[in-house]
């Protein structure tokens, strides 16, 4: 009796299936719970990976609920590559689709934030510009284009995701208040950190990443969001080591 | 078959440990007798950040062994060429002292199962595994060492013993072997064979590295011991004794202590390395 990896694999992920014939103990008796060692290894290691990957989700739901959820998730979305550090890409979508969790609408966006932090942790190193590199004449600054570090990420949410993340990650953080929040992730040296973006900040950064000048991006953003605060947004990027180059486009007259 | 020039295992016949990031600064301060480090290749396949920076730093002071846990060499489907390219990149960048993988499968139907799953020892498996190892050694450009698994069950269809199977793979492909003595002990208990008998049949001259690790104890459906290869505690005395039995015949070898779950503080892990050093000290060079 030969055991294909297809049948081994299906029985591994579905404990209601019988242990494949042809697997045995030293006395040629059926393998029985010896097969469960593999079932258990897979489920426990992937559940553990989910706990490590989504500490704030785990805290929000409680470890036992997270175990249960991970057990369903890992069977529906087993890892698609051996890079376990990126496991859980499908988790935000999975959370959004869970009927029983619909009263916690922010969960999916918190999961996106935790994924983005992990991506930032493993992103390529960037070499930030000197802090005074933007201390230039205002007309030069407005004509400048910026390159951002590979670790930089921006998330937009209808929920106060920065406040929820902070409240569940830091001891003395204030209680979250309702409202939409956009988040900037920077990685000064090796530790990624989320920051709350001012209104319009996410739009302005998207325009910079599209290759617009600081001035053009500012005008377009301020037209949509009059209260947009360029200074605060630029300072967050500079302090986070998120700007890796400045090019000033001079118009020839 | 591998070109002799690619046989470049440079691990010292001394204790090493599996590297855990929480031990980084203590390793730099007080490593002795730990003389080399092993990393799981997949944890260093990001684009940058702290993992690669720490590894670069450590590699300036210690020989590094790159130990893959995700290639699925025994898989029925073709090897993942993206993953193979990542391994080639890592090995090319790091130029490690050794490169190893497992006699197991872990990927099927594009699902990675994050466990080392067992293989039947048949002619068909032999051909497939040898083809995959040929491909790995060609792409990565290095000899690889192949590690024996921990077994919890046997396949009715197997026609080869594990030591003969590994010997034949090494003969056909030119790969070296990584002998995990804890895995031998676990499999021998679980499948009721003599661990010394296994070693007597095993081609010790092909061994480039030895693994030691801790296991957990459970029971099967009939109340007989079922050992689980958990890497979560100290190496037990019978495994140290089996190591002595190996070293008497093989002479000194690079010895690695694996501790992957419930990772202890550095002094506890270093004490295990000291015990490995003591075992080496008893062996005439
Ligand atoms: Fe091992």
Residue A27 and residue A88 in one domain: yes
Could you tell me if A93 and A12 lie in one domain?
yes
In a domain, A87, yes or no: yes
End residue of a domain, out of A43, A69, A104: A104
pLDDT for residue B183 is more than 80 = yes
Q: Is residue A115 part of a domain?
A: no
The model's confidence at residue B285, banded by pLDDT at 50, 70 and 90, is confident
* pLDDT exceeds 80 at position A99: yes
Q: What is the pLDDT of residue A132?
A: 87
Interchain CB distance below 8 Å, B42 and A125? no
Closest CA relative to residue B51, chosen from B21, B16, B27, B86: B21
End-of-domain residue from the set A73, A104, A135: A104
pLDDT of residue A143: 95
With cut-offs at 50, 70 and 90, classify the pLDDT of residue A252.
low
The DSSP output letter for B113 is E
Task: Assess whether A245 and A201 both reside in one domain.
Answer: yes
What ipTM is given for this predicted complex?
0.93
Q: Which residue has the tokens 């919890």?
A: B152
B231 pLDDT band, cuts 50/70/90, is very high
Give the tens place of pLDDT for each residue, B102-120: 999 999 988 999 999 999 9
The reply to whether residue A34 touches residue B152, judged by beta carbons under 8 angstroms, is: yes
In a domain, A47, yes or no: yes
Judge whether residue B251 has pLDDT over 90.
Answer: yes
**Any domain includes A166:** yes
Assess if residue A119 is contained within a domain. no
Cα angle at A78 between A75 and A82, to 5 degrees?
A: 155
Provide the residue ranges of all domains of chain B, joining segments of one domain with +: 4-281
Entry pTM: 0.94
Q: In this structure, are A151 and A239 located in the same domain?
A: yes
CATH of residue A131's domain is: 3.90.930
Instruction: State which residues form the domain around A3.
Output: 1-104
How far apart CA A72 and CA B176 sit, in angstroms, is 40
- Work out the burial of residue A51: count CB atoms within 10 Å of its CB; fewer than 13 is exposed, 13-18 middle, 19 or more buried: middle
- pLDDT tens per residue, range B5-48: 566 678 999 999 999 999 999 999 999 999 999 999 999 999 99
| pLDDT (mean) for B213-220 | 94
Number of domains in chain A: 2
With tokens 């570090």, the residue in question is: A149
A135 and A253 inside one domain: yes
Q: Looking at the domain B4-281, which fold is it?
A: TIM Barrel (3.20.20)
Q: How many CB pairs under 8 A join A and B?
A: 146
Question: Separation of A241 CA from ligand 1 center, angstroms?
Answer: 41
Question: CB distance A83–B42 less than 8 Å?
Answer: yes
Are both A248 and A155 inside the same structural domain? yes
- Do A150 and A215 fall within a single domain? yes
Quick check: is A145 in a domain?
yes
Question: B191 phi and psi, to 5 degrees?
Answer: -115, 10
- Same domain? A45 vs A148: no
Same structural domain for residues A16 and A90? yes
Which positions ≥6 away from B259 have C-beta within 8 Å?
A: B17, B18, B20, B213, B214, B231, B232, B233, B269, B272
- Which one of B53, B68, B156, B217 makes the best mutation probe of the A interface by having the most chain A beta carbons within 10 Å? B156
- What number is the average pLDDT over the span B186-192? 97
pLDDT at B125 over 70: yes
User: How far does A204 lie from chain B, in Å, by closest CA?
Assistant: 26
Is the CB of residue B260 less than 8 Å away from at least one CB of chain A?
no
Tell me the pLDDT band of A131, cut-offs 50, 70 and 90. confident
Whether residue B195 contacts residue B242, with contact meaning beta carbons closer than 8 Å, is answered with: yes
Distance B149 CA to ligand 1 centre (A): 8
Q: Is A188 helix (H, G, I), strand (E, B) or coil?
A: coil
């Amino acid at each position: 009796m030969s055991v294909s990896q297809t049948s081994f694999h299906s029985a591994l992920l579905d404990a209601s299936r019988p242990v494949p014939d042809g697997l045995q103990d030293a006395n040629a008796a059926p393998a029985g719970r010896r097969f469960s060692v593999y079932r258990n290894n897979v489920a426990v290691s992937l559940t553990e990976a989910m706990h490590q990957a989504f500490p704030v989700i785990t805290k929000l739901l409680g470890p036992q609920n997270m175990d249960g959820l991970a057990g369903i998730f890992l069977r529906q979305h087993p890892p698609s590559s051996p890079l376990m550090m990126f496991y859980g890409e499908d988790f935000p979508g999975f959370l959004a689709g869970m009927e029983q969790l619909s009263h916690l609408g922010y969960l999916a966006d918190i999961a996106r934030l935790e994924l983005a932090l992990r991506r930032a942790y493993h992103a390529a190193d960037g070499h930030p510009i000197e802090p005074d590199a933007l201390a230039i004449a205002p007309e030069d600054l407005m004509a400048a284009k910026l390159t951002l570090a590979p670790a930089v990420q921006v998330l937009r949410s209808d929920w106060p995701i920065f406040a929820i993340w902070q409240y569940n990650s830091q001891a003395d953080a204030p209680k979250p208040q309702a409202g939409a929040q956009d988040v900037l992730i920077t990685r000064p040296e090796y530790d990624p950190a989320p920051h709350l973006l001012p209104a319009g900040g996410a739009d302005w950064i998207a325009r910079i990443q599209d290759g617009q000048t600081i001035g053009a991006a500012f005008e377009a953003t301020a037209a949509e969001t009059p209260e947009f605060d360029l200074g605060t947004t630029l300072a967050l990027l500079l302090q986070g080591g998120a700007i890796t180059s400045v090019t000033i486009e001079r118009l020839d007259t | 078959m591998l070109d002799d020039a690619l046989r470049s295992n440079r691990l010292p016949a001394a204790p090493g440990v599996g590297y855990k990031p929480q031990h980084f600064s203590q390793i730099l301060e007080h490593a002795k007798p730990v003389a080399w480090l092993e990393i799981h290749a997949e944890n260093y396949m990001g684009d940058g950040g702290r993992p690669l920076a720490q590894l670069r730093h450590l590699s300036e002071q210690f020989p590094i062994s790159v130990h893959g846990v995700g290639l699925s060499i025994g898989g029925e489907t073709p090897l993942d060429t993206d993953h193979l390219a990542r391994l080639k990149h890592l090995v090319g960048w790091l130029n490690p002292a050794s490169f190893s993988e497992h006699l197991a499968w872990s990927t099927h139907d594009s699902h990675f199962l994050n466990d080392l799953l067992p293989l039947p020892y048949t002619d068909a498996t032999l051909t497939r595994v040898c083809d995959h190892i040929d491909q790995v050694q060609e792409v990565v450009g290095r000899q690889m060492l192949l590690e024996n698994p921990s077994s919890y069950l046997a396949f009715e269809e197997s026609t080869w013993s594990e030591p003969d199977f590994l010997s034949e793979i090494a003969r056909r492909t030119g790969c070296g072997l990584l002998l995990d003595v804890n895995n031998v002990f676990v499999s021998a208990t679980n499948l009721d064979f003599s661990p010394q008998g296994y070693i007597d049949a095993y081609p010790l001259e092909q061994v480039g590295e030895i693994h030691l690790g801790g296991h957990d104890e459970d029971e099967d459906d009939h109340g007989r011991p079922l050992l689980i290869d958990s890497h979560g505690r100290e190496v037990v005395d019978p495994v140290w004794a089996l190591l002595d039995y190996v070293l008497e015949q093989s002479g000194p070898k690079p010895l690695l202590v694996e501790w992957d779950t419930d990772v202890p503080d550095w002094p506890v892990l270093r004490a295990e390395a000291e015990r490995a050093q003591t075992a080496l000290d008893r062996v005439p060079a």
